């Protein structure tokens, strides 16, 4: 058998990002070693992030994207440190990669794991199983606007932060959501909108959603205002399957979803360039968690699960299923980190997931 070798760029960046990526990497290497020569991973480490910024004044070098362009995928930790403004760190690295590589679809599954107690105690792991599909290239995070455009000066400053909605941008993410729904047991797409208040961009979003929905008569389509959607996440999680939303709305709702599943530390994410013209990026949803960084207690499940999404992207579906099952077997056995009410360290959880990979063979 010829071994398929996947070249992965690891960018752990800041805080717990470095701790949880280590966990996911250990798992991927174990799977490769166990694949009987089917696949292998070749890693390149990029020491970019806030330390790099302190040394060089930049979050990554000018040719950063060129250095990454030819890899099969990017495995990303988290950026952010208390002493540097968040817009500097986020725009300097993570958003620069997402937007530079046109990773226009951000896929964020929300699932229950057995043995994890959610605030929704009456719901079980069969009734909460969604994917939040986030528009990842424009909308509220298009960077359009400026400060003090009217030159009014201190005390009278004015800032404009505009949202950009293009018909092409809306259509490709909505189609992506419908295509994804077709692969799922419950074929439902819910669009998140705010067209009652935002009469330009969100009305275009609604129009495109209605037009695309007509092409998918086999998929149920409905639309919900973002504020009502927040309540629906909590009150009727069983209604939802694929949720498609703009950049900002999906950012907020997916954190809510992962908190409902138990903790932000569980949440996984794929930033995809579906055309595969540029590398896609896989990362836990959480940030650098400076409050717990360096203590060895960060929940590595979000990062490990994101490595599972990377395996699916490579077409390694059996390996991806093994990762999901090993995570579930770990939580079901009560091996839980502090954010889920347990006392297992990051290392103990990683080892438990590795053990379950063995038994799941």
Beta strands 220-225 and 105-111 are: unpaired
Residue 97 binding ligand NAI, by CB under 6 A: no
Pick what 80 binds: Mg ion, ligand NAI, none; C-beta below 5 to 8 Å, kind-dependent: ligand NAI
The CA distance from 351 to 329, in Å, is 12
Nearer to ligand NAI (CB atom), residue 279 or residue 302: 302
Q: Could you give the angle at the alpha carbon of 294 between the alpha carbons of 292 and 299, nearest 5°?
A: 55
Q: Pick from 251, 283, 328, 339 the residue near Mg ion by CB under 5 A.
A: 251
| Conformational region of residue 80, where left means phi above 0, alpha means psi within -120 to 50, and beta covers everything else | left
Residue 298 binding ligand NAI, by CB under 6 A: yes
Q: Pick from 18, 247, 288, 348 the residue near ligand NAI by CB under 6 A.
A: 288
Q: Which stretch binds ligand NAI (CB under 6 A): 23-31, 37-45, 77-85, 147-155?
A: 77-85
Are 77 and 282 in contact by the 8 Å Cβ rule? The answer is: no
Residue 86 binding ligand NAI, by CB under 6 A: yes
**What are the tokens at 128?**
């909460």
Task: Tell me the CA distances in angstroms from 185 to 130, 212, 327, 328, one per residue in order.
Answer: 11, 20, 21, 20
Nearer to ligand NAI (CB atom), residue 8 or residue 340: 340
Nearer to ligand NAI (CB atom), residue 194 or residue 286: 286
Residue 286 binding ligand NAI, by CB under 6 A: yes
The CA distance from 129 to 239, in Å, is 10
Q: 243, 1, 251: which is closest to 133 by C-alpha? A: 243
- Segment 18 to 57, residues that bind ligand NAI, using CB under 6 A: 20
CB atoms under 10 Å from CB of 161, counted, come to: 12
In the complex, least distance from residue 287 CB atom to Mg ion, rounded to whole angstroms: 7
Q: 60, 36, 35: which is closest to 49 by C-alpha? A: 60
Nearer to Mg ion (CB atom), residue 251 or residue 339: 251
The CA distance from 64 to 43, in Å, is 16
In the complex, least distance from residue 67 CB atom to ligand NAI, rounded to whole angstroms: 19
Pick what 251 binds: Mg ion, ligand NAI, none; C-beta below 5 to 8 Å, kind-dependent: Mg ion
Residue 264 binding ligand NAI, by CB under 6 A: yes
Residues that bind ligand NAI (CB under 6 A): 16, 20, 78-80, 86, 90, 94, 264-265, 283, 286-292, 298-299, 302, 339
């Amino acid at each position: 058998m010829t071994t398929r070798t996947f070249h992965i760029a690891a960018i752990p960046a800041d805080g717990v990002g470095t701790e949880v990526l280590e966990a996911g990497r250990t798992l991927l290497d174990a799977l490769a070693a166990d694949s009987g020569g089917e696949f292998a991973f070749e890693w390149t480490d990029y020491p970019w992030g806030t330390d790099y910024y302190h040394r060089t004044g930049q979050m990554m070098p000018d040719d950063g994207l060129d250095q990454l362009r030819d890899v099969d995928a990017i495995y990303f930790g988290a950026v952010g440190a208390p002493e540097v403004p968040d817009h500097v760190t986020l725009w300097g690295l993570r958003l620069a990669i997402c937007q530079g590589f046109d990773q226009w679809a951000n896929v964020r599954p929300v699932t229950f794991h057995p043995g994890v107690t959610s605030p929704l105690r009456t719901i079980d792991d069969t009734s909460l199983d969604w994917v939040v599909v986030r528009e990842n290239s424009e909308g509220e995070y298009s960077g359009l606007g400026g400060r003090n455009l009217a030159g009014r000066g201190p005390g009278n400053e004015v800032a404009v932060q505009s949202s950009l909605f293009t018909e092409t941008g809306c259509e490709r993410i909505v189609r992506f959501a419908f295509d994804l729904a077709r692969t799922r047991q419950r074929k439902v797409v819910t669009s998140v909108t705010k067209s009652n208040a935002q009469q330009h961009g969100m009305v275009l979003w609604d129009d495109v959603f209605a037009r695309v929905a007509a092409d998918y008569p086999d998929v149920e389509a409905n639309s919900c205002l973002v504020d009502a959607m927040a309540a629906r996440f909590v009150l009727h999680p069983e209604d939802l399957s694929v949720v498609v939303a703009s950049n900002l709305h999906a950012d907020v709702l997916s954190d809510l979803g992962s908190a409902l599943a138990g903790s932000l530390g569980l949440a996984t994410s794929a930033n995809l360039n579906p055309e595969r013209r540029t590398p896609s990026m896989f990362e836990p949803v959480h940030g650098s968690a400076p409050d717990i960084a360096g203590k060895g207690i960060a929940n590595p499940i979000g990062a490990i699960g994101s490595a599972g999404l990377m395996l699916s992207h490579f077409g390694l579906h059996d390996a991806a299923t093994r990762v999901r099952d090993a995570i579930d077997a770990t939580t079901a056995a009560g091996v839980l980190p502090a954010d889920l009410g347990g006392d297992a360290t990051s290392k103990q959880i990683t080892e438990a997931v590795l053990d379950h990979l063995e038994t799941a063979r």
